[in-house]
Structure 1
Amino acid sequence: MKTQSISALAAAGLLVMGASASQTALAEGPHSVSANIGAVSNYIWRGQTQTGDQPAIQGGLDYAHESGFSAGTWVSNVDFGGDEPNYELDLYLGFDGSINDDLSYNLALTYYAYPDGEDADFAEIGASATYKWLTAGVAYTFHGQADDAKGVMNNEANYIEGDLYYHASLDFELPFDLGLSLRGGYYDFRYNGVKHEARDYAHGGISISRSAGEFGTFSLNYDQIERDSDVYDEDAKVWVGWLKEF
């Protein structure tokens, strides 16, 4: 992605949407196609704003098979402070499976594209496991166009081959159709096996959501990066979101 340019909501959101589509497929037949549209007051991905703290309109299309296989695409406007890129297009393949009623897993291959940007695309493979209300996983960046960019030589680029992202979340269903999510993650940036310690950071967040039936789901969210560095914006981010699935 960028030196700061991609979508956690995207990656995490894609996995959630894929799992939801898979459940629908199980109920209605071997194949399922679903769509989603949403709006956020600030597009936050893994603790970082992707829109310069401005709003975003987002949407996606997903396919799922009862075997657990899923595929989809997702798009959002972005703003990293320059003339380009102006939008992000994500493509993913996934597979969901269950060990028992309490333990499940997800495998995902995601490509983050910025068609009107330069040296910004990257791809990662991820794996996660969910036990009841706890989900934990890791994502590995195996391709990044920034590998060939001049910024890498100056230690200015993130999201290149070798980066690792560790994450965990706690998700609870509350009364009155409310949902509570606590999340955290740590980014370990590398290049040619060498750590970019100045770029590493941790982040945490919390979301409270409520389903409004056919009107979609609304959420109130808080995110913040934890890093004693001038590389990242450490200000707390409070934002609202809306998501409607079809």
Structure 2
Amino acid sequence: MKTKFLALGLAACCFTAPVAAQEITGNVALATDYIFRGITQTDNGPAISGGFDVESGGFYGGVWASSVDFSDDTTMELDLYGGYGFAAGGFDFDVGGIYYAYPDSPSAGGDQNFFELYGGIARSFDILSWDAKLSYSPEFYGETGPAIYLETGLGLEIGAGITLDGRVGASRFDDFSGADYEDYSIGLSGTIFDNVGWGLRAHDVSGGGNESVVLSFSQSFGG
């Protein structure tokens, strides 16, 4: 369960201002765990992921896939998404939708596939950046009913090409009593060699019990 904005272990929100020419980019990543909204998607094990994006005039679309490890033998996540990013009044805005699919999930039980609509806002202040995003699903994972997720984060460039950032998120479920929770993370990220990103990030959720530290490396290409 992964959005366009959150790379494995790197929770920096990336809003893109409109450009005229079409741009195609790709990415691949390795991480010691795949954390989505504070919860491991790989049973605390490593993950490999990758995807492609196309952007033109502010409109974008893409596909992203990752290994997962659920207790029901589901091993793959495939995300399809599209949206529009634009700048206004010194802020960057982004609206779109994403479909989370699990092609090899068992047919028994609730449907794991689900769709979300999202809207985000971001602004940079020299070495400081801020973003916030709201996601809504009319029928969340496992057919658990409507759900919303609100997240926000701050990033600070601390020198040597390294960014320190922290994020807070809140999950709210309409029909899933007692499941609401908050998640928190803080991390460092940077770049080594050519287009190779790295991240080191600590995660936890309200109530504890889901603490994890994730190391990740990612490679981007194209553009």
Shorter-chain TM-score range: 0.7 to 0.9
Identity score, percent: 26
Cα–Cα, structure 1 residues 183 and 208, in superposed 2: closer, same or farther, change >3 Å?
same
CA contact (8 A) 1:41 1:240 kept: yes
Q: 1:188 is matched with which residue?
A: 172
In 1, distance between residues paired with 2:147 and 2:205?
18
In 1, distance between residues paired with 2:157 and 2:104?
40
Q: 1:141 is matched with which residue?
A: 137
Gaps of 5+ in 2: none
CA contact (8 A) 1:18 1:64 kept: no
Q: 2:85 is matched with which residue?
A: 96
Please state which structure has a larger fraction of its residues in strand. Answer: 2
CA contact (8 A) 1:18 1:94 kept: no
Cα–Cα, structure 1 residues 37 and 17, in superposed 2: closer, same or farther, change >3 Å?
farther
Aligned residues: 210
Gaps of 5+ in 1: 1-5, 148-159, 228-232
The structure with higher relative contact order (CA 8 Å, sep 6+) is 2
CA contact (8 A) 2:13 2:131 kept: no
Scaled by the length of structure 2, the TM-score of the pair is 0.87
1:208 aligns with 2:188: yes
1:11 deviates by 4.6
Correspondence list, 1:63-142, <5 A: 63-65=54-56, 67-83=57-73, 85-100=74-89, 102-117=90-105, 118=107, 119-132=111-124, 133-142=129-138
CA contact (8 A) 1:18 1:62 kept: no
In 2, distance between residues paired with 1:183 and 1:11?
16
1:201 deviates by 0.4
Measured on the aligned residues, the alpha-carbon RMSD in Å equals: 2.1
